[in-house]
Amino acid sequence: MGIMKIVIIGGGMAGLAAGIYAQIAGFESVIYEKYRTLGGQCTGWDRNGYRIDSCISLMGGTKEGTGFNKMWKEFGVIRKEDDIIRPDSFGTAEFNGVSITLWKNLDRLRTELLAISPEDEKPIENLIQNCRLMGDISMVVPVDKPVDMMSPGDLLKVLKALLGAGGILTKNSKTSFAEYAARFKHPALQKLILSRLPPYFSILGFFFTIGTFASGNGDLPRGGSRTLPDRMSEKYLALGGRIHTGSAAEEIIVRGNRAVGVRFTANGERFTAEADYVIAACDVHITLTKLLKNQYRDRRFELRYRNSRDYPVFSTFHAAFGIQRDLTAYPISLIFEVEPLTVGLTEYPFIKFRNYSYDQDFAPPGCSVITVPLNQSGEDYRFWEDLYRRDIEGYRREKQRIGEELRARLVRRFPEWEGKIQLLDVATPLSYHHYTGAWQGAWMSFMMTPKAKLLIHSGKIRGLKNCLLTGQWLQPPGGVPTAIMNGRFTIQRICKMEKRPLLPPLGGD
Ligand SMILES: Cc1cc2nc3c(=O)[nH]c(=O)nc-3n(C[C@H](O)[C@H](O)[C@H](O)COP(=O)(O)OP(=O)(O)OC[C@H]3O[C@@H](n4cnc5c(N)ncnc54)[C@H](O)[C@@H]3O)c2cc1C
């Protein structure tokens, strides 16, 4: 029998990881990406001499020795320590006239919070301890093979690590941001908690983000988000993989219980790629409804698409600004209260900017670039979709209007930027959907709420033997690490189905 051919639909982080591991495992693989560049949601672009980054504020796996770190090294994403930027704070927030910085050093953070509100000592200690424990968990996430393929010995190790974290997951997964914030007396600390994610999300998201950052296992890639797919595609091509951009999958061709190929369109031409295996590394909703024509049901995904209250997804309204000033003395991110602004259907009493001055590649000398990302719900997504359908010019005007409103609020807070700040670009949740196909333009996957059940999906499609889903949707909360981990898991599953040796352990473990 000849070499088995794997067709990978989608050149995002999961598709690239699957491609690299397919080549390492000895398969012949081809990645087909509908857009003209790779990376999917993990991307950035240039405008008027500025680099606009639209993804990573926290890249998990930057701590030496962790599973994800070994993967980044295997992909050639981290080649030397200088490839990672390690800021000393996650950002600053200003509420009720109080400025709070989320320091990487948790002792420093504790001191900062206690100085603001000594009467909140108990919840502050709890917050610090939970961030510490979650940071520890982030370092032991098993990324070599999926849980159902682990040996009893490996499973025991994972269980021990979780038990060592003092049951933090079970204790806190049912607590929402709103409930947790209410434990604090000081309004600025309450707002600090509530400013990060919607109030009904599980507070674990806060501990995980700050804990990962504080543990030194979550930092920033030099060059920004697009460095990741750039370096991964280099690695993939060096391993003999092939990439076709501008090629959109239209249909997965099925005979009996097997996928035999994929029909694509590129430059208006249709063509078919034959396959022994198909990996759908694109959006799951698109795969099930469009590419497989609703012929294969998946009740766990259907439940999540139906019940957006317990399984919400969030997208972004994203504005980027070029500023003719050096902003290295400003915080890396700042949340501050503003005259309320409605975007889509949501009113924002505060906004956040991200400041990219830590990386000289982002702006011309003496200038800086900042972005203002606003979380948008499924209802907001429908607002933008409806406006686009009814009145495309009105949609464009609304985007521009909000960009200008944001600029005015930035100048009100920083009068020294007057006349020096230029609106570069605006993206809505619909833009994210148009470019990546992500369901409702979602960043990451289904969010964890207190009522949500944990999803760990194998990617297998019932009734189809050789077509596997992969990517951020298989496990909440998604994100770049989840995407690359699932890319690896998918190849491990194919190796197992083909009765081949599994991939070599990460980093020679
Ligand atoms: C604004 C924003 C901020 C984020 N911040 C972070 C962060 O700080 N940290 C973090 O870890 N994660 C972050 N994420 C999430 C992270 O980017 C994603 O979870 C991850 O990149 C998803 O990778 P994926 O490969 O699973 O999916 P995608 O990136 O969606 O890739 C799917 C690919 O499939 C392609 N495709 C779709 N349909 C077809 C088709 N029919 N034919 C061919 N190709 C197709 C798409 O164009 C895309 O390239 C952020 C995302 C966004 C949008």
Residue 330's pLDDT band (cuts 50, 70, 90)? very high
Mean pLDDT, residues 386-408 taken together: 98
Domain assignment present for residue 389? The answer is: yes
Ligand 1 mutation target, pool 55, 381, 482, most atoms within 8 A of CB: 55
More confident residue, 1 or 77: 77
Ligand 1 mutation target, pool 42, 143, 332, most atoms within 8 A of CB: 42
Q: Which atom of ligand 1 is nearest to the CA of 38?
A: 49
Of all protein residues, the one whose alpha carbon is nearest to atom 18 of ligand 1 is 479
271-300 pLDDT, tens per residue? 999 999 999 999 999 999 999 999 999 999
202 and 305 in a single domain? The answer is no
Torsion, CA 487, CA 488, CA 494, CA 499, rounded to 10: 180
Instruction: Please list every protein residue whose CB sits less than 6 Å from any atom of ligand 1.
Output: 9-15, 32-35, 40-42, 54-58, 60, 248-249, 281-283, 286, 316, 373, 432, 436-438, 443-444, 471-472, 478-481, 483
Flag whether pLDDT at 451 surpasses 90: no
Domain assignment present for residue 80? The answer is: no
What CA–CA distances, in Å, run from 147 to 365, 456, 479? 49, 9, 19
pLDDT score, position 438: 96
Taken in order 418, 424, 430, 433, the sign of the CA dihedral is negative
Flag whether pLDDT at 199 surpasses 90: no
Of 13-27, 37-51, 63-77, 448-462, which range is least confident?
Answer: 448-462
246 and 346 in a single domain? The answer is no
What CA–CA distances, in Å, run from 176 to 179, 211, 309, 440? 5, 17, 13, 23
244 and 323 in a single domain? The answer is no
Domain assignment present for residue 480? The answer is: yes
* Measured distance CA(45)–CA(294) in Å, rounded: 35
pLDDT score, position 169: 73
* Measured distance CA(177)–CA(19) in Å, rounded: 38
Last residue of a domain, one of 415, 441, 467: 441
95 and 110 in a single domain? The answer is yes
212-227 pLDDT, tens per residue? 999 999 999 999 999 9
Domain assignment present for residue 81? The answer is: no
227 C-alpha to ligand 1 centroid (Å): 14
- List the domain range (segments joined by +) for residue 275: 5-45+58-64+223-309+445-508
Domain assignment present for residue 484? The answer is: yes
305 and 289 in a single domain? The answer is yes
364 and 434 in a single domain? The answer is yes
pLDDT score, position 153: 86
Considering the chain, what is the average pLDDT of its residues?
A: 95
135 and 198 in a single domain? The answer is yes
233 C-alpha to ligand 1 centroid (Å): 15
437 and 449 in a single domain? The answer is no
Of all protein residues, the one whose alpha carbon is nearest to atom 15 of ligand 1 is 479
Mean pLDDT, residues 484-490 taken together: 98
Are the C-beta atoms of residues 430 and 441 closer than 8 Å to each other?
A: yes
305-325 pLDDT, tens per residue? 999 889 999 999 999 999 999
CA angle centred on 301, ends 298 and 306, rounded to 5°: 120
| pTM for the structure as a whole | 0.97
Domain assignment present for residue 70? The answer is: no
352-366 pLDDT, tens per residue? 999 999 999 999 999
Question: CATH number, domain at 493?
Answer: 3.50.50.60
pLDDT score, position 165: 66
pLDDT score, position 317: 98
Q: Which atom of ligand 1 is nearest to the CA of 43?
A: 17
Of 68-82, 153-167, 414-428, which range is least confident?
Answer: 153-167
* Domains identified in the chain, total number: 3
Last residue of a domain, one of 198, 215, 232: 215
Q: Alpha helix locations (H) across 195-324? A: 204-214, 227-238, 284-286, 299-306
Ligand 1 mutation target, pool 480, 482, 484, 486, most atoms within 8 A of CB: 480
211 and 91 in a single domain? The answer is yes
32 C-alpha to ligand 1 centroid (Å): 15
Last residue of a domain, one of 441, 476, 498: 441
162 and 239 in a single domain? The answer is no
133 C-alpha to ligand 1 centroid (Å): 28
More confident residue, 470 or 170: 470
198 and 93 in a single domain? The answer is yes
Domain assignment present for residue 167? The answer is: yes
328 C-alpha to ligand 1 centroid (Å): 29
Residue 58 is classified by DSSP as -
97 and 211 in a single domain? The answer is yes
Flag whether pLDDT at 447 surpasses 80: yes
pLDDT score, position 449: 84
Q: Alpha helix locations (H) across 45-120? A: 67-74, 106-116
471 C-alpha to ligand 1 centroid (Å): 8
Bridge-based pairing state of the strands 277-280 and 5-9: parallel
